[in-house]
Amino acid sequence: MSFEKTNWIWHNGLQRQWDEVGIHPSAFGLHYGTGVFEGIRAYETTDGPAIFRLDEHLQRLYASARVYGIENPYTRQQLTEAISENIRLNDFKNCYIRPIVYFDSGSLGIRSICPVSVTVIAWEWPQAMDAQKKARGLRVTISPWKKFHSSMLPTTAKTTGQYLNSILAVREAAARGYDEAIMLDVNGNLAEGAV
């Protein structure tokens, strides 16, 4: 995965050049993992890029934000237009799209109320597993890290901070030579793959 062909990022209502977008080190979401996001694919077709299930992804983005009390200041239509325009500006045919909604800089401390920022970034991202791995099959392992329970964090929301669980599992599996980690829940039942 590389951002070398990403020239434009949509940030807080405007398409901006890559170097024009930054997140302040005091951003609340950076310190406390309070952001929600989606991972969406666009695929090349004879009619141009087709975004896979964009409406459903945006529905989940807004639902995740509600769980954490993050009010997205942009409508679904505005985000749909922003995503489409961003793909066009970057001249992508086949790409990954990441809209993210997060608490930005304003104050720190867990009781702080901060402004909300919204960013859309798209980039070319080839298949995660190369043809050779697909042909031989993936090597998977059971992770020593457990999937957190819904009594610990709201598992229905796709949030930035919760991905620490998956990162730990994937990195531990890779260190032992595996392609993917399978996570169990706190009761020892199969929960999910880390990715």
Task: Give residue 171's Cα distance to chain centre.
Answer: 18
Provide the phi-psi class of 9: left if phi over 0, else alpha when psi is between -120 and 50, else beta: beta
Integer CA distances (angstroms), 126 to 18, 48, 76, 105, in order = 21, 17, 27, 33
Closest by CA to 67, choosing from 165, 192, 162, is: 162
Here the contacts of 4-7 (C-beta below 8 Å, separation 24 or greater) are: 5/90, 5/92, 5/123, 5/124, 6/90, 6/121, 6/122, 6/123, 6/124, 7/89, 7/90
Active site residue 133: no
Return the CA Rg of the chain.
18
Catalytic residue among 5, 93, 134, 158: 158
**Residue whose structure tokens are 């977008």:** 21
Q: How far apart are the first and last CA of the chain?
A: 15
Q: Which residues are tagged catalytic?
A: 158
